[in-house]
Structure 1
Amino acid sequence: MKVWPFKIVEGNNGKPMIEVTYQGVTKLISAEEISSMVLTKMKEIADRHLNDNVKSAVITVPAYFDDLKRQATKDAATVAGLDVLRLISEPTVAAVAYGLDQKSKIAGAKNVVIFDLGGGTFDVSLVIINKGKFEVKGVSGDAHLGGEDFDNQMMDHFVVEFNRKEKKDISKNPRALARLRVACERAKRILSSTTFTIIEVDCLYDGVDFSAKITRAKFEELNMDFFNKCMEIVNKCLEDAKWDKKMVDEVVLVGGSTRIPKVQQMLQEFFEGKDLCKTVNPDEAVAYGAAVLAAKISGKRNQMVQELTLSDVTPLSLGYHAVGDVMSVMIPKNTPIPVIRERTVTTVVDYQSNFYFKVYQGERSKVTDNIYLGEFILHNIPVALRGIAKAKVQFEIDVDGLLKVSAEELITGQKTDVKITNGKRSISKEEIDKMLNDAKKFKVEDQNYRKKVEAYNDLEYYVYLMKRRVNDDNVRKMLSPQNLRKIDDLVAGAMVWLEIYKLVEIDVIAVAEKKKKLECAFNAIIGPFM
């Protein structure tokens, strides 16, 4: 939040909302709405490319996304008008891209580490690939570690340098920081292929230009803590799955940030000199694998895709609040999904009338240290001494990694069946409907805005052609002094009109009328364009 160029404010029930100004009005937008806008734009691109209406999609998420984030992603897809065929972890489908690329070379089972370091998240997956079968054995990661962190570290470094050099504080100016961050991201990319570069931003703050040198060594020093954290997560993932380094046959790089030389060096040293696999484009691997999976699900597939089988795992343990603030684990981390687990529970106090379940996700012993997912109540159980009344609790994770919990009282058969959502943070049906209506409204507004821009650009181009023709010496010789003044005034007036209406709301009809009048006046003096 400290480095974002926009504000985060508290919405209903403590839900974080993004505050933006749109057409002069301040609006509060949820993360799911922003995500749906991105998905809507991608859908439009796909529609144009395929000349068809795309209705379904396979959506990938970071492996370490918990249940709430996965559900929020699915909600965003609903708002974007997409039916989610499958929600799947990014490194899992990246393994598909690698596996198909290497299919002819793979003999027998191969143990593969997928090292996925992107712009905002980091995931590690351990996958066994054997004759088209992709079996995930372990995942680990950090949902808040990636290239943006490297950019921000560099930006913080240059903020200090700018403040020291110019005796001006830019840390409170979001626009200046955003421009500096863009320059830092560009420098980061350049440093992957050269040992130093120059950061240059014209008129960064208060009219001051900024220019500074940064070396690859300095970049590595600034981000060494993040790089070390990546290696720690790799090590933890291997330990959780009880894999030894020597068991790993391939280390596959996925995500743009894996191009950083220091990351590659540290990873190679961690695996004792093993060559890293770079045959798959790190920017395209996830999308490629998702497309293959979509082809398999939709039935449009060749023999190689038909043989593909994928099994993912749950990234975090799932359980409920037990006596003494302890989390009773129902589904341990790295359990293959889909999965169903059941357990019988009993009352813990005399004459208890309800079973009250709080559901959590995480690896800590105390429930308060884990992620709260939601709660539900099984009402009207037979009143008796403690330990008499019993209920069967069931945790079910579907292929998308989403959780459903149910409970049944064994004597009366009383049941409750709920899809776990965090009531405070999740989107209600009413909110989803509102987002859908807003999306339709914004679509109309966007279409109108596009028409205005096209009309304005059309007029601007016509004025440019007028100006170019009027400045032609041969044309000027043909005109009388009176007509020459008229035509010069006409062009000058059109230029002023364009400048005045550049930054304000314009009407498409008004622009079209302006162009029509210009054409008539121009044609009367000089004749139509050839």
Structure 2
Amino acid sequence: VITELSSKTSVEVDLDLGYGSKICKVVTRQEFEDVNKEVFKNINDVIIVGGCCNIPMVKNLVTKICKGKEIYKGMNPLIAILCGAAAVAGVVDDAIGNMDLFTSQVTLHAIGIRVDGQKSIPAIPRNTSVPTAWDIVFSTINDNQTTTLIVVYKGDEEGQKAEENKVLGNFKITEIPKAPKGVPEITVSMTIDHRPSDQQSAIPVIEERMTKFDDGQNGWR
């Protein structure tokens, strides 16, 4: 939402709360700024790093987003990147002893699930700190449906066509109890740890036993 409001005046939020509950609301940039007014007031310094920081337009955009706060100029943005990379390497290699440093690894892309046969919705948003876990509740779209295919995508745009994202894998859920469409509740659970591999599982909420899995040709790896 924050990313979209940086370039749009409003954005539609469609949040799945689980167990069939959802929140759908249009949030405007003005509403976002009003809610976070006190947060913006507490910004003392704005520090930007990386080669792109030398682009005047980037500086102007950052200044605009931060409500006119002047960008800190006492540091070379290119050298800052090198120092940061060296510090992280030192933490990973345990070469800097007991130095009090905090590092955080985040997801580079959103991980999403295909819905309605065409669109993809993010289960784990981009820039989420890892390890992390997320649950999304889905249901059937046909009466007496007993199987469904879960397709996992990597992509950053909510609501875009699924084929515009990269397929990470898929698996089939079988033996869903027969019921009218929309009645069975299937919870898709996804987890990401510090390693580059992802894990996920899905079980019908109304069943006590684990549903059988049948990996497709492009099964999860």
- The one of 323, 337, 341 aligned to 2:134: 341
Deviation at 1:251, TM superposition (A): 2.0
Q: Which residue of 1 aligns with 2:167?
A: 373
- Structure 1 residues 324 and 247, CA, compared in 2 at 3 Å: closer, same or farther? farther
Q: What pairs up with 1:121-520 in 2 under 5 angstroms?
A: 243=36, 245-260=40-55, 262-263=56-57, 266=60, 270=64, 271=66, 274-304=69-99, 307-314=100-107, 317-323=110-116, 325-333=118-126, 335-360=128-153, 361-368=155-162, 371-382=165-176, 384-386=178-180, 390-399=185-194, 403-409=198-204, 410-414=207-211, 416=213
Q: Percent identity?
A: 23
The amino acid of 1:371's aligned partner reads: N
- Measured in 1, the distance between the counterparts of 2:73 and 2:201 equals 45
Q: Which runs of 5+ in 2 are unaligned?
A: 11-28
**Secondary structure at 1:347's aligned position in 2?**
coil
Native 8 Å contact 1:321 1:359 kept in 2: yes
**Secondary structure at 1:274's aligned position in 2?**
coil
**Secondary structure at 2:78's aligned position in 1?**
coil
Native 8 Å contact 2:135 2:190 kept in 1: yes
1:216-246 Cα deviation digits (max 9, x unpaired): xxxxxxxxxxxxxxxx56x99xx68975554
- Structure 1 residues 285 and 373, CA, compared in 2 at 3 Å: closer, same or farther? farther
Deviation at 1:338, TM superposition (A): 2.0
Native 8 Å contact 1:351 1:384 kept in 2: yes
- Measured in 1, the distance between the counterparts of 2:185 and 2:62 equals 54
**Secondary structure at 1:337's aligned position in 2?**
coil
Q: Which residue of 2 aligns with 1:40?
A: none
**Secondary structure at 2:86's aligned position in 1?**
helix
- Measured in 2, the distance between the counterparts of 1:139 and 1:402 equals 27
Native 8 Å contact 1:337 1:401 kept in 2: no
- Structure 1 residues 344 and 415, CA, compared in 2 at 3 Å: closer, same or farther? farther
**Secondary structure at 1:359's aligned position in 2?**
strand
Q: Which has the higher contact order (CA 8 A, sep 6+)?
A: 2
CA RMSD of aligned residues (A): 4.2
- Structure 1 residues 264 and 390, CA, compared in 2 at 3 Å: closer, same or farther? closer
Normalising by the residue count of structure 1, what TM-score does the alignment of the two structures yield? 0.29
The amino acid of 1:291's aligned partner reads: A
Normalising by the residue count of structure 2, what TM-score does the alignment of the two structures yield? 0.60
- Measured in 1, the distance between the counterparts of 2:179 and 2:59 equals 63
Q: Which has the larger radius of gyration?
A: 1
The amino acid of 1:414's aligned partner reads: T
Native 8 Å contact 1:351 1:383 kept in 2: yes
**Secondary structure at 2:168's aligned position in 1?**
strand
Native 8 Å contact 1:316 1:333 kept in 2: yes
**Secondary structure at 1:357's aligned position in 2?**
strand
- Measured in 2, the distance between the counterparts of 1:268 and 1:395 equals 34
**Secondary structure at 2:104's aligned position in 1?**
strand
Q: Which residue of 2 aligns with 1:481?
A: none
The amino acid of 1:320's aligned partner reads: I
- Measured in 2, the distance between the counterparts of 1:354 and 1:282 equals 53
- Structure 1 residues 274 and 402, CA, compared in 2 at 3 Å: closer, same or farther? farther
- Structure 1 residues 398 and 415, CA, compared in 2 at 3 Å: closer, same or farther? farther
Native 8 Å contact 2:112 2:121 kept in 1: yes
1:365-406 Cα deviation digits (max 9, x unpaired): 244485243341224325523456554311112336764332
- Measured in 1, the distance between the counterparts of 2:163 and 2:43 equals 33
- Measured in 2, the distance between the counterparts of 1:396 and 1:373 equals 17
- Structure 1 residues 284 and 139, CA, compared in 2 at 3 Å: closer, same or farther? farther
- Structure 1 residues 310 and 351, CA, compared in 2 at 3 Å: closer, same or farther? same
- Measured in 2, the distance between the counterparts of 1:256 and 1:344 equals 42
Q: Which residue of 1 aligns with 2:15?
A: none
Native 8 Å contact 1:344 1:391 kept in 2: yes
Native 8 Å contact 1:407 1:417 kept in 2: no
Q: Which residue of 1 aligns with 2:24?
A: none
1:237-266 Cα deviation digits (max 9, x unpaired): xx6897555443222232234334x34763
Higher helix share: 1
Deviation at 1:356, TM superposition (A): 0.4
- Measured in 2, the distance between the counterparts of 1:363 and 1:303 equals 41
